[in-house]
Amino acid sequence: MINVFQPSLGEEELARIREVFASNWLGKGRLTEEFETGFAAHLGVPRQGVLSTNCCSEGLFASMHLFGIGPGDEVILPTVSFVGAGNAVCASGAKLVLCDVDPRTLNLTAQDLEEKITPRTKAVMPLHYGGVPCDMDAILETARKHGLAVIEDSACSVASTYKGRACGTLGDMGMWSFDAMKILVCGDGAMLYFRDPALRERAEKWLYFGLESKSGFSNSVDQKWWEYDVSSFGHRAIMNDVTAAMALEQLKKLPGFLARRRVVSETYSRLLGDLSWLETPPALPENCTSSYYFYHIQVKDPLRDQLAQYLRERGVYTTFRYFPLHRVQHYGIQDCFPKADWAADHTLCLPIHQALTEEEVDRVAALVRAFGETHRLN
């Protein structure tokens, strides 16, 4: 089976993990700090702006607490969002407000955002779909005009940039995922970015029980190092040196991963771009770079599901991300989202990862073309 996503891990990651075993310290320590420093440099932001955590979903949930969002507040998400974002808003007691998306990029637009803003709106959570940046100038301007916090879900945008700045560092808070299906992987792990250093400080405490003092050796200057206080009923959501060891090696390999993904993406567009029955992804916006996390085609005829089935039967796994939140019944959203509905019914994410060989890319494209011929779509 040709996987839709796949990590690339090797001896380098294993060797680094071996070092961790030898050090006898598996928890959050020197390597986690080294990864935070390295990732901040990769983003081009000060070291003090970033903080690691155990997964990006935790970042989504933490954002609600950190921005003081709760009952009576509203938070706007593009309906094509990750389920963790929807759950984070609802779990906080705030009202989940969804907006439509651009039907081709599946990204939030300032216009769709503006339509849903009320005096109760506290925050917006843009998602850079598949690693392609949203039009952040327009979104930030709208958000500033209405005093909204901007929380960027950059889970899939590990190396995406907008006008020379890293996606995830454009708003008030951003986050990147390193889970098993991402580009830079470490099993589970994530990085958070905070524009305001005071917020980062609060986040650090929130993600470790709200502890006011450090425990153990790092607190040994005190007379009684086992005593402590908490400033909030915080979580325990930290990275550790085992996952950081992997992440550090993956960070070194990231430029190579991106170069390969770009070739895969461009090859698909070259091999499929002439087909009149489907759309390849729109050109990247000017002054932007992508992480090439998704490669999505849009089937004009209502045959998307049949195409997915056809490919699966022939050893090619595809998917659609993200099932719109307004179709998740438990959220109980009644509004209409015509552009997102069109996208949800016509979009298919083809396999894209750095381990895909040229033969595999050719095979996927040839099967897509063959499907069109079988259905006389050309």
Ligand X SMILES: Cc1ncc(COP(=O)(O)O)c(C=O)c1O
Q: Please tell me the distance from the alpha carbon of residue 261 to that of residue 295, in angstroms, as a whole number.
A: 9
Selected from 153, 172, 241, 279, the binder of ligand X by CB under 6 A is 153
Size of site (CB under 6 A) for ligand X: 12
Q: Does 82 bind ligand X (CB under 6 A)?
A: yes
Q: Does 80 bind ligand X (CB under 6 A)?
A: no
Selected from 106, 124, 127, 211, the binder of ligand X by CB under 6 A is 127
- Give me the least distance between CB of 55 and ligand X, in Å please: 3
Structure tokens at 339: 């552009």
Q: Does 78 bind ligand X (CB under 6 A)?
A: no
Q: What are the C-alpha distances in Å from 107 to residues 99, 136, 268?
A: 10, 11, 21
CB neighbourhood size of 12 (10 A): 15
- Give me the least distance between CB of 167 and ligand X, in Å please: 12
Report whether the peptide linkage leading into residue 331 is cis, meaning its omega lies within 30 degrees of zero: no
Selected from 79, 105, 121, 177, the binder of ligand X by CB under 6 A is 177
Give per-residue burial for 256-289: e unless 16+ CB within 10 Å, then b: ebbebbeebbebbeebbeebebbbbbeebbeebb
CB neighbourhood size of 235 (10 A): 17
Q: Please tell me the distance from the alpha carbon of residue 14 to that of residue 12, in angstroms, as a whole number.
A: 5
- Give me the least distance between CB of 214 and ligand X, in Å please: 26
- Stretch in the footprint of ligand X (CB under 6 A) among 49-57, 68-76, 144-152, 249-257: 49-57
Q: Does 33 bind ligand X (CB under 6 A)?
A: no
Q: Please tell me the distance from the alpha carbon of residue 340 to that of residue 324, in angstroms, as a whole number.
A: 7
CB nearer to ligand X: pick between 56 and 149: 56
CB nearer to ligand X: pick between 162 and 310: 162
- Give me the least distance between CB of 85 and ligand X, in Å please: 6
CB nearer to ligand X: pick between 178 and 268: 178
Selected from 2, 20, 50, 56, the binder of ligand X by CB under 6 A is 56
Selected from 57, 161, 250, 298, the binder of ligand X by CB under 6 A is 57
CB nearer to ligand X: pick between 181 and 263: 181
CB nearer to ligand X: pick between 84 and 372: 84
Q: Please tell me the distance from the alpha carbon of residue 123 to that of residue 121, in angstroms, as a whole number.
A: 6
Q: What is the 3-state secondary structure (H, E, C) of 53-74?
A: ECCHHHHHHHHHHHCCCCCCCE
Q: Does 55 bind ligand X (CB under 6 A)?
A: yes
Where does this chain bind ligand X (CB under 6 A)?
55-57, 82, 84, 127, 153, 155-156, 177, 179, 190
